[in-house]
Structure formats: C-alpha cells, structure tokens
Amino acid sequence: MTIGADLKQCLATIKSIEAGLSSLAINTNAEDEQRLYHEQMMVIEEIKQDLMKRIGEVEREEEQYKGF
Amino acid sequence: MPEWIHIIYRGVLFLILLFLMTKLLGKKQISQLSFFEYISGITIGSIAAEVIMGLDNNIWHGIIGVAIFAVIPFFVEILSLHNKKIRDVVEGKGTVLIKDGKLLEDNLKKEKYTTDEILQLLRGKDVFQVNEVEYAVLEADGKLSVLLKKDNRPLTRKDIDLPSINEKEPHTIIMDGEMIDDKLASAGKNRAWLKQELDKQNVTIENVFLGQVDSSGQLTLDLYDDKIQVPKPQEKPLLLANMKKCQADLELFALATDSEKAKRLYAANARKLQESMDVLSPHLKG
C-alpha cells in the first residue's frame, strides 16, 4: 500500500477512536469518567487535525495520492 | 375438637406471631449481633415450640411469654441507641486478642478461649500463622475480626500507584424476560436505548433471563438458551486496540518519512496518543 493510503487508513481509525470515546462519554453515568473520556476525545481531535493537515500536504506534493 | 386441629391452629397462629415480631425487631434480630438478641432468639423459639406441641399449656401464657421477649429487647434496643453505657453492658464490647502480632494471653483466658480455638478462628480467616496478624478483636457476637499486617494484605490499586477508578454499581435491568423500568431509570437509560442494544446483540427481550448494565453503559446478557453464544461487550477493548494500532502507525510514519517537519509532527502525535492511552487503559481494560 502507498503511504497515502496508509495515512488515510490511520485517519479513519483515529476518527473511529474519537467516535468510540464520544459514545462512551455519553453512555457512562460516572461523572469523572465522563469528563476523562471527553478530555481524551479532545486530544484525539487534535491528533486528527494534525493528520488531516499532513494528508493535505502529501496530496499536494504527490498528485497520485489524491482522493480516496 | 381433635388434637391435631389444635396443633394446626396453634402452629399457624404462632407462625404469624413470630413473623410479625421479627418484622418489628428488624434485621438486627436475624443477625443475632448481641447477647440480648441471642437469648431472645433462643427463648422465643422454645416457647413457641412448647406451646404448639404441648396442648396442656394455655395458649395465652405462651403469647405473653413470647411478647415479653419481644417487647423488652425492643425497648432496650431503643435505650442503647441513645446511651453508650447501656450499649456497652447490653450489647457487649469486643475483646482484643492479638495486638502488634502478639497473643494477649490474659484476654484469651478472660474469654476462655483455648489456643486451639483461637487458631481455628484465625484459620477461618485464612490466617495460618499468628505473626501475620497485626490486630485481632473478638467481637461481641463471637466472631473474630482480623487486621493483617500491611505486608500480608492483598495488593490494591493504591499500593502500585495506579490512578483511582470511581466505579458505580451495576444495575439489573432485565429479569426473567421482563424489563424493570425503575432500575432502567436509575441506570440513566430508557426503553429505546435498551431496544437498540438488544437489536445490536440480535436477541428479543423474552429470551433474556438476566440483563445487567454497568456504569459505562455496557449491557451484559444471560439468555435462557445457554447454547446461544452472546457476544461480550467489545466496545472498550476494541477502542484500546485501535489506539494501539494508530500509535504504532504514527511511529512507523515518523520513521518512514524523509521530511524533518513531518517526522516531528508524527512523533509528537504518537507521544500524545501514548499518553492518552496510558490514562485511558485502566478504564478500558476493566
């Protein structure tokens, strides 16, 4: 697989982690646990932003990696 | 009237009487914690048996006898609730039998416990060597309470500096194929949520013998048909596995790329993810 595809796969996994944490934060009824999941969701969100930026760069540099 | 009818009549009457009396005295009577509850328990039983079987006895005398042993302990309980001195006399105090890992022979003698008996009580607490015990008290109800030395106590999360986890109690929301609405409400869920979860696991509520939801909202089911495999809740382990995979991927990208800037970006994010994993894994493993 090309690095472009690898990066996109990783991004998809990151998104699924974010969604998983978000659903845990909603479903749990212990307040401090809720806060913890939410905080970690924010961290994952930051990682997601960085990764998306990087994917944009790669796509600009290497035309053939464009699209899904 | 034949005698057997008398026995039935008295038996039923005393059964109801004893039932009401135990309700009045409460759970404490059943646990027989103190001296008073112990003797009143024995005596009430004997009186009832005596009156039911011995038809020569006047039934009213029996009822009076039972009532005395119910009413006096009842009032003594109320008194001892308010006064520590009365409490000490009536309910008794614990006796220290082991202190600093040493048997207190005088106290043993006072309670008339032999070495064999104290060893037997200790073995009941899974203690086979006296020097493992820091402190032991013989309680008023005859049970031995043991505090082990710190070295011999089981390891706790605190001992190995793990972050504390504040777990709430699980709720049983399905019993015998029926959902229990007030439990569902106290778990903070509703019927729609439950229906969705059951659909996810592909079962109907009639097939569920027992269903429990834990504090993180995971539903565990036990079905009537034990041949059907119910999937265990996978959400949390899957999440952790995904995080591990992503972290490894990011590290790989950092190694593979030639651009210095991208390398730094990947490494920083891999570190962030690792930290987040460290925080979350005690919760996700559970």
Strands B219-223 and B208-213: antiparallel
Give the integer Cα–Cα distance in Å for B87 and B84: 5
pLDDT tens sequence across B240-280: 999 999 999 999 989 988 888 889 989 999 999 999 998 88
Asked if pLDDT for residue B71 goes beyond 80, the answer is yes
Which pLDDT score is estimated for A68? Answer: 61
Q: What is the pLDDT of residues B21-34, one digit of tens each?
A: 888 888 877 777 77
And the tokens for B53? 């079987």
B187 to A29: CB separation less than 8 angstroms, yes or no: yes
Q: Where are the beta strands (DSSP E) in B199-254?
A: 208-213, 219-223
Q: Do A40 and B188 count as a contact with CB atoms less than 8 A apart?
A: no
Strand partners, B95: B138
Q: Where are the domains of chain A?
A: 3-65
pLDDT, position B188: 83
Could A24 and B217 be called an inter-chain contact, meaning their C-beta atoms sit closer than 8 Å?
yes
Put simply, the answer to whether A24 touches B253 (Cβ < 8 Å) is no
Supply the mean pLDDT for chain A: 86
Please report, rounded to a whole number, the percentage of residues in chain B having pLDDT higher than 90.
Answer: 26
What region, left, alpha or beta, does residue B95 occupy, with left being phi > 0 and alpha being psi -120 to 50 degrees?
beta
Query: What confidence tier does B45 reach under pLDDT thresholds 50, 70, 90?
Result: confident
Distance from CA of B220 to the nearest CA of A (A): 14
How many residue pairs from chains A and B have C-beta atoms closer than 8 A? 81
The B residues from 238 to 277 touching A (CB cutoff 8 Å) are 238-239, 242-243, 245-246, 249-250, 253, 256-257, 262, 265-266, 268-269, 272-273, 275-276
What ipTM does the predicted assembly reach? Answer: 0.88
**Pairing of β B208-213 and β B171-175:** antiparallel
Angle ∠(B55,B56,B59) on CA atoms, nearest 5: 70
3-state SS assignment for residue B55:
coil
Residue B283: both structure tokens together: 């919760």
The distance of A50 to chain B (nearest Cα, Å) reads 7
